[in-house]
Chains A and B, each alone.
Chain A
Amino acid sequence: MKYLIKNFFIAARQVFIGNTAYYLWIVFLSVFILLGLSTYIDQLQRGLITTAMRDQVSWGFYISNFTFLVGVAAAAVLLVIPAYLYNFKPIKEIVLFGELLAITAITMCILFIMVDMGQPMRVWHILPVLGTMNFPSSLLAWDVVVLNGYLAINMVIAFYVLYRLSIGKEYKMSVIGPLIILSIPWAVSIHTVTAFLYNGLSARPFWNASILAPRFLASAFCSGPAIMILLFQIIRKRSEVEIDNRAIYKIAELIAYAMGVNLFLLGAEAFKEFYSGSIHSYPMQYLYFGLHGKNALVPWMWFASVLNISAFFLFLFPRTRENFTTLNMGCIFVIIGVYIEKGMGLIVPGFIPDTLGEIYEYTPTTPEIITAMGIWAVGAMLYTVLLKFAIPIYTGKLRFETRGQ
């Protein structure tokens, strides 16, 4: 018990002590968190009327961000597969940071769902035993199960590894091996279930297409690793963690394949919709060309397409893939491209035209955007704090006290 308390303080001190840049970063994020909190409190008091969502477009920016972040969380698996199955050492050493990102992304997902709820105090109604979870009928119930399960798996793996390292011991694969193996299909499942959540609605032809889940996975395997590549470079620069270039190049190569598949699937979707030209193609027409003079998303979608195609070529050729300027450009392109495509570009056209043929153009309100930025700031702060705590343990600078010592 004595050691537990002592170790708790050792760990906590890590988080509260840093250099000026660290404090500035925390203050910077706190400002956004507080701003987000204030717009959210206003939303709680006045209702979701503070957003631009209405009966016609009943999900918007919050659910878009949620969808994108499920992809980011799922992509941690992309690191786990080569690391453990093929024993690719350069990646294996940095899997931990991917798992911490998954924990962060899932936390943000849960926050985005919470702010989208009309009655957040009643969230317990969705839980099994306590509430009346509609399992297995509702895909949202499935999502609650798989997202929380994924969060738990990644927390157990990450904290077990950190704990073993912190007491100066190697972690035992016999303990976390099965969990790591489980986490691979589980990561695929969180994004598949989230895709099915939209996919299963026959009322929305744009989502009710079997290509949805594969496209979800393909685009997630672009954006998640792209974020990882950028984060790895920051971690490498700002700490003593060594990250092998080979790991980064390997991840970039995987992004090229994933983006290739993503673009192919997009092409397949576009062909089916536009060649057959039935009324089910209207949402896609709205997205890329506008419908009845309404075209709020058109420039965004073309922008995203240009970014995604450029990124594909940047990642495809070893020369641009292994040059950090072009590599980072590619990463930023992918992140923005997929954020548009798998965010607003996926959610909003599901509702346009609505089921009675009306076109309600949705653009998020300022409070809606500020609340979302607050959640992104929470995510950035959580990841920072997790790293602040994990990196010294990882590099061997921080060790807990144990009886043996």
Chain B
Amino acid sequence: MSSENKQERGVHRRTFLKGAALGLAAATLPGAEADASIWESFFQKHFREMNDKEIKQVIERLEREYEQKYKKKISVGNEKALPGVLFGYGLDLSRCIGCRRCEYACVDENNQSKDPQVHWITVLRFKKGEKWVDLEESEKYYNPPLVPEADYFYMPVQCQQCENPPCVKVCPTQATWKEPDGIVVIDYNWCIGCRYCMAACPYGARRFNWADPNRKPEEINAKTHYLGNRPRYKGVVEKCTFCIQRTRNGRYPACVEACPVGARKFGNLLDPDSEIRYAIEHKRVFRLKEDLNTYPKFYYFFAYGV
């Protein structure tokens, strides 16, 4: 083979690779037709490193983007934690009937993807008399015609909002952190999607957007919070935020309102007159996987003995 031929081949290979590189760039980088906001989004700073003005600009951009994408006005709030508030949750296992209404209310409120399906609450079913505290014998796909079933009891699990959250400890980019009111939040624009937090969470509370979140525009809850239920992106992690968009405005989380049997209690742990404090002080509460020292602010208890 002549050296000219060889040279040509080298060039071919390079052109080849160049083409491939362009293809890759086209897939990752925003094209010419894309809005300039994609670059703004790319260079967006960490949420906690932005001042109020910068946050305002980011929120305006997000609202523009959402309006473009969903053809409806979606408000993105940024209510801050109130002083003297530490949110806590109580779940009365003696009442829970396993109807999963909390799960569905959560999806309606928090704009999770419908396809692929993302749920922040998992209701586990256990057989009475069998071992259950270690969760190994749980059943999450139970599907009887009617609940409750005589031989079973139920335990909903969601983000336990740990005081000592392993997910926050391991996140390599500080994209998830604990707010002053105790809610563990994620900046969906800072998360790199490494999923280390999912490996670290002992409660299976974190969900990943394996595909583009898919939800009909008319089903979108337009009242959102930056750190809560605003529409997410593919490739980022999400989870329960105690309905930050509601609770920071003095409302109950959607799951608390949806529960038909009043098994769910919510309130301020620092307020001695709150319902949650009453439950903690008068019932025998326990928390999941206490041996791990994560100190969840999610308390399970049995209000009465059935």
Query: Which A residues have a C-beta under 8 Å from some C-beta of B?
Result: 16-17, 20, 23, 26, 30, 33-34, 37, 40-41, 44-49, 51, 53-56, 58-59, 113, 116-123, 125-126, 131-134, 137-141, 144, 197-198, 200-204, 279, 282, 350-351, 353-358
Say whether A126 contacts B192, CB under 8 Å.
yes
Q: With A59-B195, A357-B136 in contact, do A26 and B13 touch (Cβ < 8 Å)?
A: yes
Q: Report, nearest first, the 7 A-B pairs whose CB atoms are least far apart.
A: A118-B193, A118-B235, A203-B202, A140-B172, A49-B211, A47-B234, A49-B210
Q: Chain A CB within 10 Å — which of B28, B46, B196, B203 has the most?
A: B196
Closest to A121 in B: B28
Contact residues in B for A134 (Cβ distance below 8 Å) = 170-174
Contact residues in B for A126 (Cβ distance below 8 Å) = 172-173, 192
Closest to A282 in B: B136
User: Is B208 located at the chain interface by the 8 A CB criterion?
Assistant: yes
Say whether B194 contacts A140, CB under 8 Å.
yes
Which residue of the partner chain, among A17, A56, A116, A119, contacts B233 with CB atoms under 8 Å?
A119
Q: How far is the CB of B49 from chain A (nearest CB, A)?
A: 7
Bound: A141/B170 CA distance, A: 9
Bound: A23/B6 CA distance, A: 9
Say whether B236 contacts A118, CB under 8 Å.
yes
Query: Which B residues have a C-beta under 8 Å from some C-beta of A?
Result: 1, 3, 6-7, 9-10, 13, 16-17, 20, 23-24, 27-29, 42, 46, 49, 116, 122, 124, 134-138, 140, 157, 166, 169-175, 190-196, 198-204, 206-212, 233-237, 292
Q: How far is the CB of B116 from chain A (nearest CB, A)?
A: 7
Q: Chain A CB within 10 Å — which of B23, B140, B171 has the most?
A: B171
Say whether B134 contacts A45, CB under 8 Å.
no
Say whether A355 contacts B196, CB under 8 Å.
no
Q: With A47-B210, A138-B196 in contact, do A358 and B140 touch (Cβ < 8 Å)?
A: yes
Closest to A201 in B: B200
Say whether B24 contacts A203, CB under 8 Å.
no
Q: With A54-B210, A121-B42 in contact, do A49 and B116 touch (Cβ < 8 Å)?
A: yes
Bound: A140/B198 CA distance, A: 13
Q: How far is the CB of A402 from chain B (nearest CB, A)?
A: 27
Bound: A198/B196 CA distance, A: 9
Contact residues in B for A116 (Cβ distance below 8 Å) = 194-195
Q: Chain B CB within 10 Å — which of A17, A30, A126, A351 has the most?
A: A126
Say whether B172 contacts A144, CB under 8 Å.
yes
Contact residues in A for B211 (Cβ distance below 8 Å) = 46-49
Which residue of the partner chain, among A41, A55, A204, A282, contacts B27 with CB atoms under 8 Å?
A41
Q: Chain A CB within 10 Å — which of B173, B190, B233, B235 has the most?
A: B173
Contact residues in A for B195 (Cβ distance below 8 Å) = 58-59, 116, 118
Which residue of the partner chain, among A58, A117, A131, contacts B235 with CB atoms under 8 Å?
A117
Say whether B235 contacts A119, CB under 8 Å.
yes
Say whether B170 contacts A118, CB under 8 Å.
no
Q: With A20-B1, A125-B190 given, can you name 15 additional A-B contacts, CB distance below 8 Å?
A: A16-B6, A30-B13, A34-B16, A41-B23, A47-B235, A118-B192, A119-B193, A120-B192, A125-B192, A133-B173, A137-B170, A138-B171, A139-B170, A355-B203, A355-B204
Which residue of the partner chain, among A54, A117, A141, A350, contacts B199 with CB atoms under 8 Å?
A350
Say whether A357 contacts B170, CB under 8 Å.
no
Closest to A42 in B: B27
Say whether A140 contacts B196, CB under 8 Å.
yes
Q: How far is the CB of A88 from chain B (nearest CB, A)?
A: 39
Closest to B294 in A: A202
Say whether A117 contacts B212, CB under 8 Å.
no
Q: How far is the CB of B267 from chain A (nearest CB, A)?
A: 26
Contact residues in A for B190 (Cβ distance below 8 Å) = 122, 125, 132
Closest to A207 in B: B199
Say whether A117 contacts B172, CB under 8 Å.
no
Number of A-B contacts (CB under 8 A): 174
Q: How far is the CB of A80 from chain B (nearest CB, A)?
A: 29
Say whether A55 contacts B198, CB under 8 Å.
yes
Listed A/B pairs (10) with beta-carbon separation below 8 Å: A23-B9, A53-B210, A119-B191, A131-B46, A133-B172, A140-B172, A140-B194, A144-B172, A204-B199, A357-B124
Say whether A355 contacts B28, CB under 8 Å.
no
Contact residues in B for A354 (Cβ distance below 8 Å) = 204
Contact residues in A for B136 (Cβ distance below 8 Å) = 279, 282, 353, 357
Q: With A118-B191, A356-B138, A357-B136 in contact, do A138 and B199 touch (Cβ < 8 Å)?
A: no
Q: How far is the CB of A43 from chain B (nearest CB, A)?
A: 9
Closest to A140 in B: B172
Q: How far is the CB of A369 from chain B (nearest CB, A)?
A: 18
Q: With A118-B234, A356-B135, A356-B138 in contact, do A58 and B173 touch (Cβ < 8 Å)?
A: no
Bound: A131/B207 CA distance, A: 24
Contact residues in B for A204 (Cβ distance below 8 Å) = 199
Closest to A280 in B: B134
Q: How far is the CB of B211 from chain A (nearest CB, A)?
A: 4
Which residue of the partner chain, among B10, B137, B173, B208, contacts A16 with CB atoms under 8 Å?
B10
Contact residues in A for B201 (Cβ distance below 8 Å) = 203, 355
Bound: A17/B9 CA distance, A: 10
Bound: A381/B175 CA distance, A: 36
Contact residues in A for B10 (Cβ distance below 8 Å) = 16
Which residue of the partner chain, among B1, B192, B210, contacts A117 with CB atoms under 8 Å?
B192
Bound: A20/B1 CA distance, A: 9
Closest to A51 in B: B210
Closest to A123 in B: B192
Say whether B24 contacts A117, CB under 8 Å.
no
Q: Chain A CB within 10 Å — which of B3, B7, B235 has the most?
A: B235
Say whether A120 contacts B173, CB under 8 Å.
no
Contact residues in B for A48 (Cβ distance below 8 Å) = 193, 208, 210-211, 235
Closest to A142 in B: B172
Say whether A355 contacts B170, CB under 8 Å.
no
Closest to A23 in B: B9
Q: Chain B CB within 10 Å — which of A46, A59, A122 has the most?
A: A122
Contact residues in A for B28 (Cβ distance below 8 Å) = 44, 120-121
Say whether A141 contacts B138, CB under 8 Å.
no
Q: How far is the CB of A359 from chain B (nearest CB, A)?
A: 10
